[in-house]
Structure formats: structure tokens, C-alpha cells
Structure 1
Amino acid sequence: MKTVSTLWDSPHRIFFLLTIIWALLSMLLWGLTLFLSVPFNPPGGPLLWHIHEFLFALSGAAIIGFMLTAVPEFTSTEPVNYVWLKRLAGLWLAGRVAYITAHWLTPAIWLAAMADTLMLITLLTLTTPVLWQDLTRKHLSLPLALLLLLIVNVMFYYELPHPGRALQSTHLLMGTLMILLLLALARISMSMVNSALEEKQAEAEPYLARPPRRQLAIICILLFSVCSWYFPAAGINAWLALAAAAAILNILNDWHLGRVLLRRWVLLPYCTLWLMAAGYAQLGISGLLYGSVSSGGQHLLAAALMTAIIYVVLVAGGVHSGWGLDERKRVIILIATALLLLQLRALAPLVPAAYYPLLAIAAGGWMLSWLLVLTISWRTLWQRPA
């Protein structure tokens, strides 16, 4: 009972735990479907389920944990009551179960759509008024991005009877999450990088996440996402993807602060931005050379998203649970090794002869990454410090 009650102490505990569990279970089901031909055919097909459950469900649990933990800290207000945490967790779980159940009972997909929609509406209701009442109102971009995520997810379910159009809507879903990622990283990195600078007593200027650079990247990502959804065959998409890559690389100019970048809790978000830039660059180059979007580029963006989620789970989970940061060297080494294996998924389309073996290794890297996160995080999420 003590452990169960502890899970509802803070939003990050239950939702980061759901993030880890779903990362493992969803990949297990996808692996069984892909490699062992286990029958699983929800509305739209298993591929769309796989994309949606990574982009929306996995990221969604992490977003709820982050937002409900960070907003009270940003605004110096009281945390959300545990009753609302249970309601949000119930809606998230209902959406996952309903989508899987739709394999046998097709109308269940609309229960998934309703649960996911109500979940985001509830999150917006809990966070937007608090952020609006803050006199600075400097965090209103977060609920605006959440509203965009809500709209795009509704579009996905609406288009699901037409898998081709639903697949196009996932470009919007990915773009929205990239925008949320930039917004979240700007806030987290301001704290983490400057703390590292103070510890090292570096002579470099304090780190600043400059809004103009971030806003330019967000505009480029949004333009690429909308155009690749509405005009999938347009040649301009390649140039917009390259523009997004250049804008993200421009953000990295803020990070060039010397050897402090080698600190483990600074290096991970720095690498995340590089993965984002590489993903959009590959999408642009693929569009110029072949006239189509590269799945490898999309998977590099997915790797960036996963790296950021793992970073948030480990950092926010440790700090807000009272345990502090895990400074063991093996933590970052093991996670970095597993994440490198994941990059093979982006390379798989370039090596047709080894396509499925590379997919299998990448899937193994995914499982290994999240098993490591579970091993590292179980104490911080399940227990209070003595």
C-alpha cells in the first residue's frame, strides 16, 4: 500500500512509469507482429498503430508527467490533486486498451479517440488557467502546442478509415512533438546547463536559450509538417526540411560553451538537437534526390524524441522524487550504447539485404534502452528517499 500511495505523490511518478512500461509493451507487440507474424490488425493496420502509439501514447504519458510537474514549479502554485492524476491515468490507459481491442471489435477505436481527446482536454484545463494567471505569461506556448497536438490527434482518428491519409497526418503529429520538444528542452536546459557551468566554475557566459532562434526553428518545422501533410509530393518540402535542419543547427550555437558540453546531463539534450537536425536533413536530402520522404529521416526524429523522453524521465524523475541526479558513469554509457543501436533503424532502408536483421537489432536496442531506464528509475519512481 505504501508503494501504491507513493505513485500518486507527484504526477511524474505514475506517468513516467506508464511511459516506461508502454515503451516496452508496445515494442514487444510490434516485434511479435513484425517478426513472428502474430495476427494483429487494428483499424488502419499495425503500422499506423505502431506509429501512433509511439508518437502519441508514449510521448503523451511523458508530456502529462512533465507538464503537471513543471507548471506548478513555473508558477509557484499547488500541484494537481491526486484525483485528477487518477482520472488522467485512467483515460490514457483506456485509450491504449481500446485501440488494441479494436483488432477484435472495430468500433472500440472510437472509444480510443474519445479517451485520448478527453485526456488532452483535461490536461489543457488543468494547466492553461494557471499559466494564464502567471503575470509573465512566458509559458503560454506550451498549452498552445498541446492544443495543436489535440487537433492533430483528432485528425488522425478521423482519417484512420483511410490509412494513406492517416499516415500523412502522422507528419503533423511528429512536427507537433518536435515543437513541444524544443519548448521543453529550452526550459530544462536553462537549469541543467547553467548548473553545470556553476559546478565547473567556467568562465563562459551563462547559457541562454534565445527565443528568436527557437521561434525560427518552430516556424520551419511547422511549415514543413503542414506542407508535407497537405502537399505530400511538392518539391518545396525538401527545402523546408533542410531549412528546419539549418534552424535547429542555429539553436546549437547557444550551446557552444566549452567542455561543459561533455557533462553527461548536458550532453544528452545537446545530442538530441543534433539528432533532430540530422533527421530533417535526411528528409530534405531524400526529397531532393528521390522525390519522397525518407523513413530513415523520420526514425532519426523518433530517436531524438525517445532520447529526450529518457532524459526527462531520468532527470525530472530523480530530482523531483528527491533522489537527485544519478551520477554513475555506467548510466550514460549504457544508455548511449543502446541509443546507438537504435540508429540502425534509420540506416535499414539504405541496406535492403540486411533490412530485417537491422530492424531486429534496432528493436533490441529499444528494449535494452528502456529496460535500463526501468532499472535505473524504479527506486526514484516507486520509493521516497529516506
Structure 2
Amino acid sequence: MLKFIHSGPFAALFECGFRPFFLLTAATAVIAVAAWVGFLTLGMPLPLTPNGPVVWHAHEMLTGFAMASVAGFVLTAIPEFTSTRMIERHHVFILLILWITGRVAFAIPIVPAGTIVAMIADLGLLGMLAAIIAPRLWRDANRRHLSFLWILLAVIVATGGFYFDTLTGTYPMRWLLVITGLMMALIVIAMSRISMRIVNTALSQVGETGTAYLARPPRRNLAIFCILLYTLAEFVALQHPVSGWIALAAAAALFNLTNDWHIGRALLQRWAFMLYLVYWFMALGYAVIGAAILMETAWVSAGRHLLLVGALGLAVFAVMNIAGRIHAGIEPDKRLWVPIAATLIAGAAVLRAMMNFDQIEASLAIVAASACWITAFSLHLIFHWRILIRPRTDGQPGCEGIASDA
């Protein structure tokens, strides 16, 4: 096994954590949504998991798609943020096996055996990630990045709660809503680190050398606080009017956060604008949820899909295309397919939300939104799978940035 991960034909895949996990992220985005739309429109069978197809869909998009992207990001970014050694290949391999085991076991129609194996695998993955990054984060001089650990520990609790409810016969969707909120908070935390490089690069590209972008903690911390407060309120009393007002507060805090990004024409550069749109989708998502709760309408689902398809989808796509290329020794892609794919993801979010506003027929909205999403992540796979499985060609080791940045 050691020979396989160090010198086998796919040895490069285990060189850095983003390689296998970003590959699985894109593949899951395509396969899981294709299975979901096939079930909804053609009656194709889904795995016979506990609590029915809606829970399977939400669970696999969060624990499969989102967690694969989180693992890839954390395994790559934390060593860079803390100036520590890259993650060992055998750790990447073990985490990969745990992720795959969780996905397969949760789909096995043997209850509770399959659920128990999935629980062990998913909690094992999250626990191992926490164990790997915790010492690095804690030893960092100013402990500037501990928020990543706190969010990861909260996800472990929520994942354990999901499986506890599933095994005891309680409907577990409340825990998936918690994970959704934690993912939104994590996006804000991660983007505050990524954005300073991306936005300042955009400023230099348009000749604004005298202007500097800074991700200011007060606005960011207020947005994170409101997101987590809404998540707690939703967990305690689903769709209570108080949670509606808190959702609107989260939306206001996120709109306020976008004020840091208003830096002129540099904002229109593709990567800066893509990350900016993430905040807009997140703010609109919470605004729609808050309005839906207070007005007692059926728009809550529209708001959730603006969060999960729009904000999460665009954030994951951007990170895979920025970090996934830089740490493979390649400049971010400047070809036309990138804005096309980003537009398709944004379109998927809007189409899915419109369905709940009765602006478009439901089956048409589902098919169109799914087609946009699947096409976008299929394009990513087409242009990146070779990059992810092949060794670097720039002479840099492991997860280092591109040679010119070294």
C-alpha cells in the first residue's frame, strides 16, 4: 500500500489533500444531482436510505459534496496558513477511504448496519481532520485560524446528532440545517483569507496600485455571529418568527460585509467578482428565508437553495479553480469556460429558487437547474482531472504555490 501511494501510477493523487478531494467534489456534484433529477423526473431509484429521498439528497450534498471540498481545502490551506509541513500521503489516503466508505455505506439498504458504518466513517473522517489540524492551529503564534477548528468540531457534533436521530427513528433534517449554517459560516471565514490575495491581485491588474483591500474583522465577525445565531434559533424553534428576524439580520450583516469589496472596476475581474457573488447569494438566501418565515409563505426552500446552490456552489467552484490550480503549480485558468460555468451555477440557483416563487413550472425548473449545475461541474472535471492525477511540472514539491510565487 505504501508503494501505491508513494510511487504507483496514481501517486501524484496523494501528494496533496486537495487532489483526491477536489476530484471527488466535482464528481459528486455531477453524480448526486444527476441521480436526484433522475428520481424526480423519471422515477429512477435512489439508495434506500433511512428517512427517504429528501434526506438522502440533502445528506449527500452536504456530507458528500461539501465535506469533500472542506477536506481538500483544509488539508491544503492549514499547512500554508500555519507555515507547517504538508499533510502526509498516508493520512490523505486514510481520509479518502473514510469518505468513500461513508458514501457507500449510507447508500446500502441495510438498516441499521449501513447507517452505523456510515456514521463511523463520517465521524472518523471529521475527527481525523480535526486531529491533523488542531496542533498546527494551536501552535500558530497568534492562533489566528482557530475558527476553522471550532467550525469543524461543531460539524462533528451535528453529524453525530444526525446519525443519532437516524438510528433512534427521529427525523434528522434539523441536523442537516445546522450543517448548512456551519458551512455558510465556514465560507465567510475561508473567504476572508482567500479574498485578500484575489482582490489585491485584481487591483494590481487594473493598475490600482495605490489601493489595498483588507478583509475587516468587525464586519466579518458580525456576519458570522448572525449566521450562527440564526442556525441556533432554527434548531431550537424551526420557522419561529424570531428566527425570521434573525435571518433578516444575517442578510443585513452579509450585505454590510460586501461594502469591503466595493473597490471600483477591479471588482469586475473574474475571480474577485465570483467571490463577491457568493456573499450576494448568501445574503439573498437569508433574506428570502427571513421574509418567508415572517410572511408564512413557502419560500423557505427557495432561500435554502440560494444558500446551497448559489453561495456554496460558487464558493466551492471558485476555491477548486483557484487553490486547486495554484497548489498544482498552474496559474488560475483564464479561458472562457470558467465564467460560463460560474454563470451556470448562478443560473441553477436562480432557477431552483424561482420554482418556489411559482415563477416557473416545477419540473422545468428542476431539470433546467440540474442541467446547469451538472454542466458546470462537468466542465471543471474535463479541464482538471488530468491536472489532479498527474505530477507537477514546475519542479515545486507537494502543495507549494506556483514556482513564480515561491
Determine if the TM-score, normalized by the shorter chain, exceeds 0.5.
yes
The amino acid of 1:89's aligned partner reads L
Structure 2 residue identity aligned to 1:73? E
Match of 1:354 among 361, 365, 368: 361
Q: For residues 11-160 of structure 1, what are the structure 2 equivalents within 5 Å?
A: 11-40=17-46, 41-101=48-108, 103-160=109-166
What do residues 254-289 of structure 1 show as CA deviations (whole Å, max 9, x unaligned)?
000000011001111000000000000000111121
Are residue 214 (structure 1) and residue 214 (structure 2) matched?
no
In 1, the alpha carbon distance for the partners of 2:147 and 2:256 equals 20
Query: Structure 2: which 5+ runs fail to align?
Result: 1-6, 394-406
CA RMSD of aligned residues (A): 1.8
**Could you say which residue in structure 1 is the equivalent of 2:396?**
none
Partner of 2:174: 168
The residue that corresponds to 2:378 in the other structure is 371
1:270 to 258, 269, 276: 276
**% identity of equivalent residues:** 36
Corresponding letter in the other structure for 1:371: S
Report the TM-score, using the length of structure 1 for normalisation: 0.95
Contact 2:344 2:373 in 1 (8 A): no
Q: Name the CA distance, whole Å, in 2 between partners of 1:339 and 1:291.
A: 24
Aligned residue number for residue 289 of structure 1? 295
Please, what TM-score do these two structures have when normalized by structure 2? 0.91
Aligned to 1:302: 308
SS of the aligned residue for 2:10 comes to helix
Instruction: Extract structure 1 runs of 4+ deviating beyond 6 A.
Output: none
The answer to whether the 8 Å contact 1:48/1:163 transfers is: no
Give 1:164 deviation, angstroms: 6.9
SS, match of residue 7 in structure 1: helix
Indicate the residue corresponding to 1:254 in structure 2: 260
Q: 1:329 to 1:323 in 2, by over 3 A?
A: same
CA deviations on 1:133-153 (whole Å, 9 max, x unpaired) are: 111110001101110111111
Looking at structure 2, the residues matched to 131 and 181 of structure 1 have their Cα atoms a distance apart, in angstroms, of 18
- Partner Cα distance (1:59, 1:361) in 2: 22
When residues 203 and 191 of structure 1 are mapped into structure 2, their CA distance, relative to the original with a 3 A threshold, is closer
Count, aligned residues: 385
Over 3 Å counting, the alpha-carbon distance change for 1:261 and 1:72 in structure 2 is same
- Residue 7 (1) aligns with residue 16 (2): no
In the aligned structure 1, how far is the partner of 2:239 from the partner of 2:81? Answer: 42
The one-letter amino acid of 1:216's match is L
